[in-house]
Structure 1
Amino acid sequence: MTEQGRSTELEDQGLPLTALAVAAGRAVETSRADQLVADPFASALVVAARSHLDLPTVWPAQPAEAPPLQQPLLLASIYIGMRTRFIDDFLQSAPATTQTVVLGAGLDTRAFRLPWPEGARVIEVDSANVLEFKAHVLSRLSAEPRCELITLAADLSLPWREGLLAGGFDPAQPTTWVLEGLLPYLDAAAQHAVLNEVAVLSAPGSRAVIERAVALPKTDGIEAKLREFSEQTGLPMSELLARADPQDPIELLEAAGWRCTGHTVEELCSTYGRVLSLAAPDAAAPVAAGPGVPGPDLTRSGGPAPEQQPTPDQSRGGFVTAWMP
């Protein structure tokens, strides 16, 4: 079951806390002097939700001295900033497509803040309450999309193809697919189903950027880490993240004829000049942020035993970029 289908006990203003935490991460990144992303709407979205969590929206002068409950979220904002910039760069690179589909769009604002080419159409897919809240807040800000924007309410753990086709998606056109922070909330079967639909619905010339899901076998070590992080931050990751050892998207897409490239989080750190740490550069070893949304690092000391760890290219998930010839 995805975060879209969780009970309202896990939500503020009817919103998944993880969606708010990711928006807060973008707000923090935007506030940095060395920002990788400028999202002028992220902070307003967080404020409008009136969350019971103390979500940071500004990068502090001394991040290592921030309140203990905010430190994991500040740490995660470093990852979110790199993730957002990586996907932004992909979307603005050639060869662009007229049609873009964002699966599990959450409070993403790319339709409003990126320079889209003339005639571009963006289709955002997520739960109705998330899409309606975002539209309401952005309307109050007098924000206008910089492309044709179509929103589709759907639970991506259930069949969604017919709704996409009815909503204006054209399977005869090349499509750019964005899967950001989605797969970790789906079990292995649902991940496979989503990626299979992407492959089936893609015309030649389509492309995709996909955030991998970390393999999360159900072990005592992983369960303890998830519970600890959930208790520390108030984000119920122990209840939200699916326990799954999913097939790598590269394997599935290459079998369908796609050409794929994997990108590790370490590669992003090198590209964007970031370190996943709140410590000063000469301080002790950093504490790492997890993938998808703010989460615990399951692969450093205190995590699962070495024989239970994911392979290096999947230790924090990483990303896949793919192209359909």
Structure 2
Amino acid sequence: MTEPTGSTELEDQGLPLTALAVAAGRAVETSRADPLVADPYASALVVAARSHLDLPTVWPAEPSEAPPLQQPLLLACIYIGMRTRFIDDFLRSDHATMQTVVLGAGLDTRAYRLTWPAGAMVIEIDSANVLDFKAHVLSRLSAEPACELVSLPADLSLPWREALLAAGFEPAQPTTWVLEGLLPYLDSAAQHAVLGEVAALSAPGSRTVIERAVPLPKTDDIEAKLREFSEQTGLPMSELLARADPPDPVELLEAAGWHCSSHSVEELCSSYGRVLSLDPSVGRTAAEQPGPQNQGQDQSRGGFVTAWLS
């Protein structure tokens, strides 16, 4: 998860708050008794950032009794855990490609913690400060990537094709594209541009996993909710989330010949046995049942798109 250049940042490390919060989410998920994700580096990245925010890195014994300021973050950690696992599963599925491009990589550590085919190359694109910080912390941990890792500093709200080609990307070869937590932080025009480049640079055999952006109309109710979340967590969501009508990735990719599937957050809850709630009385089986707690999930999250180019 990342932010475009110019967003609110941590003063001490120059890191986007959202990228750090997502790393905290992976740390929390890793600490659970029934983790969906095993990220041995996430907690160290959060600690090394020395954030002024009180970000959780461990799942508490009684989540509903956590301090009020941490409860929204813990709730977000449930979603981050499912999102991370869903994309991990996609990358580990059949039809892997030898080159993968992660757009808005943030503090993601898949290049280190997943198993990659021999000779695989992963290109991570994000701002230089994010990529440099991550590389520095992982180097101190003596962590080694399990693939050829290329870190490409670039602002994804601006043209980035030439930089990608110069970094060794081969447009004639099939590519796996990962767009996790990126589109919601770009305006509509930039989202169109990114999705257009994915389509234009993909050879047959390519695939992609995309987290959708959610259209947020500029209403008093939405503004109030965003301000409340920002005040509770310290994350500048009211400044970051795009309110313009986002393009539909399915519509754009299918027009370019891709075959697409949509996946709701409710589907992830059912698949991974999670409920977006800190209430211990809400059992896991609730994720499989239609009800108010699940009917509202897709209103606040856009779900995911997976797509393949024959």
TM class by smaller structure: over 0.9
Q: Secondary structure at 2:4's aligned position in 1?
A: helix
With the length of structure 2 as denominator, give the TM-score of the two structures: 0.93
| Structure 1 residue 6: Cα displacement | 2.1
Report matched runs for 1:239-258 at 5 Å: 239-258=239-258
Corresponding letter in the other structure for 2:261: T
Distance 1:269 1:16 in 2: 28
Distance 2:309 2:158 in 1: 25
| Structure 1 residue 30: Cα displacement | 0.1
- 2:159 — aligned with what? 159
- Displacement over 4 Å in runs of 4+: 7-12, 312-315
Q: Please tell me whether the aligned partners of residues 9 and 15 of structure 2 are also in contact (alpha carbons under 8 angstroms).
A: no
Q: Which runs of 5+ in 2 are unaligned?
A: 287-292
Q: Rate the CA distance shift 1:271–1:157 in 2: closer, same or farther, 3 A.
A: same
Distance 1:165 1:81 in 2: 32
Q: Secondary structure at 1:24's aligned position in 2?
A: helix
1:150 aligns with 2:135: no
Q: Please tell me whether the aligned partners of residues 111 and 146 of structure 2 are also in contact (alpha carbons under 8 angstroms).
A: yes
| Structure 1 residue 282: Cα displacement | 4.4
Q: Please tell me whether the aligned partners of residues 215 and 314 of structure 1 are also in contact (alpha carbons under 8 angstroms).
A: no
Corresponding letter in the other structure for 1:277: S
Q: Secondary structure at 2:61's aligned position in 1?
A: coil
Distance 1:95 1:9 in 2: 38
Q: Secondary structure at 1:3's aligned position in 2?
A: coil
Distance 1:217 1:316 in 2: 14
Distance 1:101 1:72 in 2: 31
Distance 1:180 1:73 in 2: 18
- 1:318 — aligned with what? 303
Corresponding letter in the other structure for 1:6: G
1:267 aligns with 2:267: yes
| Structure 1 residue 4: Cα displacement | 3.2
Corresponding letter in the other structure for 1:85: R
Q: Please tell me whether the aligned partners of residues 103 and 125 of structure 1 are also in contact (alpha carbons under 8 angstroms).
A: yes
Corresponding letter in the other structure for 1:91: L
- 2:26 — aligned with what? 26
Distance 1:11 1:84 in 2: 27
Distance 2:269 2:139 in 1: 35
Report matched runs for 1:30-179 at 5 Å: 30-179=30-179
Q: Secondary structure at 2:230's aligned position in 1?
A: helix
Q: Rate the CA distance shift 1:313–1:79 in 2: closer, same or farther, 3 A.
A: closer
| Structure 1 residue 71: Cα displacement | 0.5
Distance 1:215 1:30 in 2: 31
Q: Please tell me whether the aligned partners of residues 214 and 317 of structure 1 are also in contact (alpha carbons under 8 angstroms).
A: yes
Question: 1:89-123 CA deviation, whole Å, 9 max, x = no partner?
Answer: 00000111000000000000000000101011000
| Structure 1 residue 240: Cα displacement | 1.3
Q: Please tell me whether the aligned partners of residues 12 and 52 of structure 1 are also in contact (alpha carbons under 8 angstroms).
A: no
Report matched runs for 1:274-285 at 5 Å: 274-282=274-282
| Structure 1 residue 281: Cα displacement | 3.0
| Structure 1 residue 217: Cα displacement | 1.6
| Structure 1 residue 3: Cα displacement | 2.1
Distance 2:9 2:84 in 1: 28
Distance 1:147 1:9 in 2: 30
Q: Rate the CA distance shift 1:315–1:228 in 2: closer, same or farther, 3 A.
A: closer
With the length of structure 1 as denominator, give the TM-score of the two structures: 0.89
Q: Which runs of 5+ in 1 are unaligned?
A: 287-296, 301-311
Corresponding letter in the other structure for 1:127: S
Identity %: 83
- 1:215 — aligned with what? 215
Distance 2:167 2:62 in 1: 47
| Structure 1 residue 242: Cα displacement | 1.6
- 2:289 — aligned with what? none
| Structure 1 residue 134: Cα displacement | 0.1
Corresponding letter in the other structure for 1:322: A
| Structure 1 residue 221: Cα displacement | 1.1
Question: 1:216-267 CA deviation, whole Å, 9 max, x = no partner?
Answer: 1211111111011001111111111121211210000000000000000000
Distance 1:314 1:34 in 2: 27
